[in-house]
Amino acid sequence: MLEHTSSTNAPSLDRKRVYTSPYNALALSGDLPSAIRIFDTTLRDGEQSPGIALSCSDKVKIAQALDELGVDVIEAGFPIASPGDREAVKNIIAENLDSRICGLARCSRRDIDAAIDCGLDYIHMFIATSDIHLQHKLKLTRDEVVEKAVTAIEYAREHGLTVEFSCEDATRTDLEFLKKMHTVVQDAGVEVINVPDTVGTIGPPAMEHLIRELMTVTNVPISVHCHDDLGLAVANSHAAVRAGARQVHVTVNGLGERAGNAALDETVLGLMAFYGVSTNINTSRIGPISKLVSRLTGYAIPPTKAIVGSNAFAHESGIHVHGVMGAPSTYEAFGPELVGVQRNIVMGKHSGAHSVRSKLSEYGIDLVDEQIDQIVEKVKRLADSGKEVDDAELVALASHILGERESRKVKLKEFAVFTGMNTTPTAMVSIEVNGEKKTGSAIGIGPVDAAINAIKSVMGNDIHLVEYRLNAITGGSDALCEVSVRVSRDGDKTLMSVGKAIGSDIVQTSVDSTMEALDRLYCRKE
């Protein structure tokens, strides 16, 4: 039987760092588990999101990150689906990760053989059981489905495989037939039975009821796989655990078919914070893996996404900022460091002196009260006119008040980039620093990387590009773009600066924004 195993990765949740409602404890009922297993299906169900096509190397990177995160099981793919899926599964197995590696299979010998050929010893097998699927998809009777499932399970077990079994569309399956399926598949040798809410059609109270009913006939651990078609995937996963489920299927950032699956971060944090149910997840790795998966899949994280969205720990209102800076519990359910992200003080018409002072301190800028008041007034005026006041704008306002920008200390004199097919991108720059001309060159992964490396060769390799953001302002092949960068010296936050530029050439605009940031950094250093 599959068990939850302890991990050195997973820190215990410090209740003093989570500021949830006391009513959660009052509402607890029943015997909750101390820990549950996390089955991640980002590489299988997550990749089935429209438009996502991960390369083999991308899948290995994500699997490595999931292993570092501490998931118990990684569903690495659907081996029979394509040669690429088989290659990815084999390569992930070759990594010898601590997480258990699993592959999807239908109740088919071909599917099972494909999994065996990959070197898998654990498969997630499924067959549809709802009347909707039996009539319109499988064209099978209930008895035929039972026979097909048992035959496939026995074949897999004969070949030494651990089997987790799913009755697809379980939440729309007749209850007595679903109970019968649970009985026959566990008798055939499955070690976990998963209950999929395939189309996200059940609510939390009904999910609790269903799991409790299935617990009366199920002697192996029950798992759940919830989809978010009605926005209830996480709530349904929590409800299932309250009723007795001991494993939940999740994906990073809630990726998945249609509206997606239960989000790993929300599921895990909710179980820990509301119910005291632990997992092997190292929560401090949640932010980094969220960004990795977003970058590799091309799926942007919505700003308002809970926990990892850019607005999750963003504060603009002066009242809120004042409260958070003094006591984070005033306007945060938990600190951002718990999930490996950062708090962000946003400038806008609701900002006050505390907001401005806190944000400028990130760049080592210290102003007196009168100067802060001047900036607050300018920020409000800009925001009221509809203009976004980002870090670069704020630092520019501070620089103007300090009189730093009357003349540039660092000027770009010449710049050239050479790139093309089968050509290593190479850049050359000539920069004037306090009247002294310096020249440097470098190569890079692309023209932008080469250009920035060339600048670093002149200004010093202790310069680090902390953040690079590119936004298209207009459409078309001659579109204007906006590039914002954040640079630091030796990673020192007190020696950090920002720059922003707008232009039609991405490489030139990237260079201009970097030079802007370096000029500010150099002025402050002097």
pLDDT tens for 76-121 read 999 999 999 999 999 999 999 999 999 999 999 999 999 999 999 9
pLDDT (tens digit per residue) in 123-169 = 999 999 999 999 999 999 999 999 999 999 999 999 999 999 999 99
The residues, ordered by sequence, that sit 6+ positions from 101 with a Cβ below 8 Å of its Cβ are 63, 73, 74, 76, 89, 92, 93, 120, 122
**Is the pTM above the cut of 0.75?**
yes
- pLDDT over 60 (residue 4): no
Domain 410-525 is found in CATH 3.30.160.270: yes
> What is the spatial distance between Cα 287 and Cα 291, in angstroms, rounded to a whole number?
6
Residue 78 C-beta-side C-alpha neighbours within 13 Å: 15
240 closest CA partner among 274, 270, 208: 208
pLDDT (tens digit per residue) in 197-244 = 999 999 999 999 999 999 999 999 999 999 999 999 999 999 999 999
3-state SS of the chain: helix, strand, coil percent to 5?
45, 20, 35
Are 24-297 and 410-525 equal in CATH topology? no
> What is the spatial distance between Cα 393 and Cα 509, in angstroms, rounded to a whole number?
16
Ramachandran assignment for 389, one of left (phi > 0), alpha (psi -120 to 50 degrees), beta (any other): beta
Domain 24-297 is found in CATH 3.20.20.70: yes
* pLDDT computed for residue 469 by the predictor: 87
Strands (E), 292-356: 314-315, 344-345
The residue extents of the domains of the chain are 24-297, 314-402, 410-525
Asked which of 179-188, 282-291, 416-425 is least confident by mean pLDDT, the reply is 416-425
Pairing state between β 162-168 and 73-77: unpaired
For the chain, the C-alpha Rg in angstroms (whole number) is 27
Q: Could you give the percent of the chain with pLDDT greater than 70? A: 91
Neighbour tally for 304: CB within 10 Å: 10
Q: Which two tokens stand for residue 145?
A: 């489905």
The position carrying tokens 């598949």 is 185
Helix (H) or strand (E) holding 141: none
For residue 125, list its beta bridge partners: 105, 165
Q: Which two tokens stand for residue 407?
A: 């003349």
Helix (H) or strand (E) holding 123: strand 122-128
* pLDDT computed for residue 404 by the predictor: 53
Q: Is 227 helix (H, G, I), strand (E, B) or coil?
A: strand
pLDDT (tens digit per residue) in 343-402 = 877 777 778 887 888 878 877 788 888 888 888 888 888 778 776 677 777 877 787 777
Q: What is the largest CA-CA distance in the chain?
A: 86
343 closest CA partner among 302, 388, 372, 310: 310
224 closest CA partner among 254, 244, 201, 252: 244
The per-residue pLDDT of the chain, averaged, comes to 89
Q: Which two tokens stand for residue 217?
A: 């006939």
Q: Which two tokens stand for residue 241?
A: 């655990």
* pLDDT computed for residue 6 by the predictor: 41
> What is the spatial distance between Cα 167 and Cα 171, in angstroms, rounded to a whole number?
9
The residues, ordered by sequence, that sit 6+ positions from 375 with a Cβ below 8 Å of its Cβ are 356, 360, 367, 394, 397, 398, 401
The residues, ordered by sequence, that sit 6+ positions from 378 with a Cβ below 8 Å of its Cβ are 397
DSSP-derived letter for residue 198 is T
DSSP state letters, 249-301: EEBGGG--STT-B-BHHHHHHHHHHHH--B-S--GGGHHHHHHHHHHHH--PP
- Please provide the distance, in angstroms rounded to a whole number, between the alpha carbons at the two ends of the chain: 66
The position carrying tokens 């997630």 is 124
Q: Mean of the pLDDT values across residues 468-472?
A: 86
